[in-house]
Structure 1
Amino acid sequence: MNFEEKHCPHCGALLVENASFCPYCESVLIEKRPAEMPKPKRRRRITAALLLTAVLLVTLTAVGFANRGKIIDAQGAELTYEADGQTFHLALSFESQGGAPFFGQPLFTVEVREDQVRGQVSSSRVFVDNGGGVDKKNEFLALVDHYEVTTTPCDGITLLQIDETFLPTNSNAAIEAIPSYHTEQLKEGEGNVIWTIYLKNGDTLRLRHTVKITRVPVVTLTENDYPMATVDDLNVLLDTLAHEADRKSVYILQLPAVTYEGGLTMKNFCCDLVGSEGGTTFTGTVTIATRGIHPSNITNVRFMGDGTGIGLSASEGAFLHRCTFENWEIGAYGGLGSWVNATGCTFRGNGVGLWLDNHGGATCSGSYYGDSVYEDNGTAVRIAVMPGTETLDFNNCVFRGNGVNVENTAGYAVDLSQIVTADN
C-alpha cells in the first residue's frame, strides 16, 4: 500500500498522513480561513417585511379615516349639522317654501293617469336654515365640495330617475333636482330620492325622501256613448257626471266635428276635451271649475268669439294643446288659484291672448309654453301674478303684429331668447 509522504511546513519533519499537529516543532497544521458573515434566515426577512407593511397600513388607515371625516345619514328628510360654530338645519321638500324655518317632506304622492307612462315630478329641493327663522343657504353652500342625487328601484325596476340637478338662482332652496317617473313596466310603486352631500372638510351628509306613484283611472266617452251633437247635450252630460262621476277618475270627452253655439262649465270632476280633426268649435265661454282635482287637458279645440268675453276661463289647472283662440276680449284666462299652460296653440285678434292671473296660490304645473303663435293681439301674453319661481319658456313661439308681446310688469322669470318675431 502506497502512502503519500507529508512533511511539516515549518520544520520539515516527516509526518503521518492527515496529521494536524507537528510533534517536533509543535505547530498547528490546519489551514485558517477568514470567517464569512452569517446570512439571515428567509423567515426573519419575511417577518420583518410583514411588520413593516402592517405599520404602514395602520398609519395609512388612520390618515384615511382622519381625512374622510364623519358620515351623517339622516335616514329621513331632515338633519342638523354643526360646523365652524354654526348650526345648519337641512330639510328636503318637493314643495316651494316661502321662508325659514323650513320643513321636511318625507313622502310625496304623485297621481299619474292610466294613459301616461312617463313625466316629471315636482323638484326635490334642499332648504337650509339655522334651526329657526334664519336662512343659511349661502353659508352652507360655501362648505359644499360636491353632491350626488340618486334614486332607488322599486321591486328591482327603475321607477324614478334624476333628469337634472342645479343651484337655483331665483329660489330660496339651496340645491334642486328634477326627478321623472317611468311606469312602462311598473304601474305603481315607491322610490327614494337620495341626496349625498360631500363637504370640503371631509364630512358627508345624506338625506332622503320618497315618491309614491299611484294610478288615476281614465274613462273615455264618445258620441256613441252619449249625445254630443249640441251644446245642450254636452251640458246635460256634464251635469250628470258632476253628480255621478268618480272624483278620483279622469273623463275624456271625444267631441265630434261640431260648432257648439254657446259655452259649457266643467265642475266637481276632472274632464278632458278632445276635438275632432274636422273642427270642434265653441262660440261661448268654456269654464273649468274643478277645484282641487286633476288638471284638464283641452286638445284640438277652436274657441271663436265676437270680440267680447273670455274663450276659456279656468279656476283650476288646464293644459291647452293645439287650440285656437280668436276674436275674444281675453282668449284664455287662468285665475283664482289656477294654472293655464299653452303649447302649440294660436292666439289671434284678441284683446289679451293669454292672461296668467293666479291669486290663489296654486303651484306652477308647467313652465313650457313653446310652439304657439300670437298674432294681432292687443297684448299677446299678460303675466299678472304667477306662483313659484320657475322660468316660463316661450321657445319657438311666433309673435307677430301684437301691440305688446309679453306684458310682465312684475318681472317674473321669462325666457324669450328663442322666439320668432316680425323683426327676425
Structure 2
Amino acid sequence: MNFEEKHCPHCGALLVENASFCPYCESVLIEKRPAEMPKPKRRRRITAALLLAAILVVTLTAVGFADHGKVIDAQGAELIYEADGQTFHLALSFESQGGAPFFGQPLFTVEVREDQVRGQVSSSRVFVDNGGGVAKKNEFLALVDHYEVMTTPCDGITLLQIDETCIPTNSNAAIEAIPSYHTEQLKEGEGNVIWTIYLKNGDTLRLRHTVKITRVPVVMLTENDYPMATIDDLNELLDTLAHEADRKSVYILQLPAVTYEGGLTMKNFCCDLVGSEGGTTFTGTVTIATRGIHPSNITNVRFMGDGTGIGLSASEGAFLHRCTFENWEIGAYGGLGSWVNATGCTFRGNGVGLWLDNRGGATCSGSYYGDSVYEDNGTAVRIAAMPGTETLDFNNCVFRGNGVNVENAAGYAVDLLQIVTADN
C-alpha cells in the first residue's frame, strides 16, 4: 500500500499520510480550534430590540405615506377628483359663471394702459360641479382642510401677487383669490396663478391658469394740439378721431376750464375726459358709445343740468372720478352692456343720482363705489339690473336728504356698513 509522504512541521521527520502525532519530536499534529463561547443574554436582547425598532420604522413610514395621500396636479385649469363615492369637477376661471356645468379658463388677458403700472386682476375663482349640471360647492368645501394660492414671475411682470383669498358667501364659486399686477417699463408678459388645495384625507389638488398682460398705447391731447374752447370744437375733434384714431389706443383729452354749452358723444374709440381744476363743465348730455374697446375715465368734470335729461349716459364701461352731477333727471346712467363706476363723486339735487341698468351682460369692471356724496336726490342710487356676483362697496359714502338712499330692485349684493347718513 502506498502512502503519500507527510513531514512533521516541527522537526521535518517523514511520517505516514494521516499521522496525528510525531514520534520523533512528540508533537501533536491535529489543528486546534477554539471553542465557540455562548453569546451573553444581553447581546441577544439588544439584537431583538434593534430588529423590533426596524420593523416599527418600516411600519410607521408606510403609515406616514398612507396619511400623506395622493397629489393630483392638473397642469391646467380643470381636474376631476373622486372621493367618498362622489365626483368633483374643479374649474378655474377669472370670470363669473352663471351656473353648472362650469368651464375652466386657462388664459386671461388683461389690457393695461401705458399710464398705469399697478392694478387688480379679476378674481381667480374655483368652481365645483359633479362633472355635469349639478353644483357641488358645499360638498367639496366640507372636504377641504386649507388651501394656498401663489404666483410665478414671468418676463415683463415684475410683480404678480395675491392680495386676498376668501370663501365667497354671495357667489357660486367655492373659493376666490384676487391677484394684482405691477409692471415696469411698459413691458408685457405672462404669470401663472397656482392653486394648491389640501384635503382632510391627505390628498392634494393643484390647478393653475395664466394672466397675460398686454399694453395699451395712450395718446394725450390738449388745447395746444387741437382747439377745445367750445362744444363745437370738441365734437369736431371727436368726429375726426372716430374716423382716424387707432382703436387699440386710449386718447386722453385734457380739457380747459370752460363751460361747454351742449352735449358730447364719444364713439368708435376709447376716450378719457380730464377736467381742469378751475372747473370744466358740461350743460348737455355726455354720451359714451365706444363699442366696448376700453372703459372711459371721466375725471374732475362738472355736469350741471336744468332739471331734465341725463348728465352722463353710457352704453359702454365708464369710471367716474371726482365728478359732480347736479340738477338732472338722471345724473349718471349706465345701460345696455355698460358697467358704470363712481368714486369720490357728488350727486346733488337729481331725480336719480346714479342709475345702474346693465342688461347687456358686461362683467364687473370695478366694485368699489366709495367716497361719494349723495345729497337731496329723489333716489340716490338705483340698481335696476347688474350682472355678476360681486358686492358693490359704498363704504365712506355720505347719504343725506335723499328720498331713497339705495333702491335695489335687482337684489344685487351691496355693502352699506360704513356709510354716513343724516341719522348717524
The two structures have a TM-score, normalised by structure 2, of 0.88
Kept after mapping to 2: 8 A contact 1:270/1:294: yes
Give CA-to-partner distance per residue, 1:72-113, whole Å, 9 cap, x none.
000000001111111111111111111111111000000000
Shift of 1:379: 0.8
**Contact residue 270 and residue 290 of structure 2 kept, 8 A:** yes
Task: Please report how far the alpha carbon of residue 28 of structure 1 lies from its aligned counterpart in structure 2 after TM superposition.
Answer: 23
- Whole-Å separation in 1 of the counterparts to 2:351 and 2:405: 12
**Matched position secondary structure for 1:158:** strand
Change (3 A) 1:2 1:314: closer
Q: Does structure 2 conserve the Cα–Cα contact (< 8 Å) formed by 1:159 and 1:189? A: no
> Does the Cα contact within 8 Å between 1:341 and 1:368 map onto a contact in 2?
yes
Conserved 8 A contact 2:156-2:188:
no
> How many Å apart are 1:59 and its aligned residue?
2.5
SS in 2 for 1:159: strand
Specify whether residues 64 and 156 from structure 1 end up closer, same or farther in structure 2 by C-alpha distance, changes over 3 A only.
farther
Q: CA 1:374/1:17 → structure 2, altered by over 3 Å: closer, same or farther?
A: same
| 1:311-354 deviation digits (Å, cap 9, x = unpaired) | 00000110000100011110000000101111111111111110
Seen in structure 2, the aligned counterparts of structure 1 residues 30 and 420 have a Cα distance that, compared at 3 Å, is: same
The Cα offsets for residues 356-395 of structure 1, whole Å up to 9 and x where unpaired, read as 0001000111111111111111111111111111111111
1:343 maps to 343
Deviations 1:130-160 (A, max 9, x none): 1111111111111111111111111496431
Structure 1 Cα separation of the partners of residues 15 and 205 of structure 2? 94
Give secondary structure in 1 for the equivalent of 2:67: helix
C-alpha spacing 1:37/1:398, structure 2 compared with 1 (3 Å) = same
- Residue 416 of structure 1 deviates from its aligned partner by 1.2
- 8 Å contact from structure 2 (residues 155, 188) kept in 1: no
Number of aligned residue pairs:
424
User: How big is each residue's C-alpha offset from its partner over 1:163-188, in whole Å with a ceiling of 9 and x where there is no partner?
Assistant: 11111111111111111111136732
- Check conservation: 1:119, 1:182, Cα contact below 8 A: yes
Is 31-40 or 157-166 further displaced after alignment?
A: 31-40
Q: Structure 1 residues 339 and 24, CA, compared in 2 at 3 Å: closer, same or farther? A: closer
Q: Deviations over 1:277-316 (max 9, x none)?
A: 0110001000000122100000000001111100000001
Q: 1:67 to 1:405 in 2, by over 3 A?
A: same
CA distance 1:35–1:365, shift in 2 (3 Å): same
Show CA shifts across 1:203-230 (max 9, x none): 1111000000110011000000001011
The reply on whether 1:44 has 2:44 as its aligned counterpart is yes
Question: For 1:73 and 1:214, how far apart are their aligned partners in 2?
Answer: 28
Quick one: structure 1 residues 378 and 20, their matched pair in 2 at CA, closer, same or farther if it must change by over 3 Å?
same
Q: Is the 8 A contact 2:121 2:180 kept in 1?
A: yes
**In 2, Cα distance between the equivalents of 1:19 and 1:100?**
100
**Residue pair 1:152, 1:158 contacting (<8 A) in 2 also:** no
How far off its partner does 1:60 sit?
2.6
* Distance (Å, rounded) in 1 between the aligned partners of 2:264 and 2:12: 145
- The structure-2 alpha-carbon separation of the partners of 1:63 and 1:256, relative to structure 1 and needing over 3 Å to count, comes to same
CA drift of 1:411 comes to 2.3
1:26 CA drift (Å): 23
Check the 8 A contact 2:288/2:315 in 1, yes or no: yes
Residues 17-71 of structure 1: CA deviation (Å, up to 9, x unaligned): 9999999999999999999997879999999887666544433321111101110
**Cα distance, 1:107–1:13 mapped onto 2, change above 3 Å:** closer
Corresponding residue for residue 110 of structure 1: 110
Deviation at 1:124, TM superposition (A): 0.6
Shift of the 116–156 alpha-carbon distance from structure 1 to 2, 3 Å rule, reads closer
Tell me how far apart the structure 2 counterparts of residues 14 and 336 of structure 1 sit (CA, whole Å): 126
Equivalent in the alignment of 1:385: 385
Segment of structure 1 superposing worse, 240-249 or 54-63: 54-63
Q: Distance in 2 between matches of 1:80 and 1:95?
A: 20
1:181 aligns with 2:185: no
For 1:84, the equivalent position in structure 2 comes to 84
Q: Which deviates more from structure 2 when the two are superposed, residues 236-245 or residues 37-46?
A: 37-46
| CA spacing shift, 1:87–1:354, aligned 2, 3 Å | same
Kindly, what percent of the aligned residue pairs are identical?
96
Distance in structure 2 (CA, Å) of the matches to 1:129 and 1:104 = 12
Structure 1's unaligned 5+ residue stretches are: none
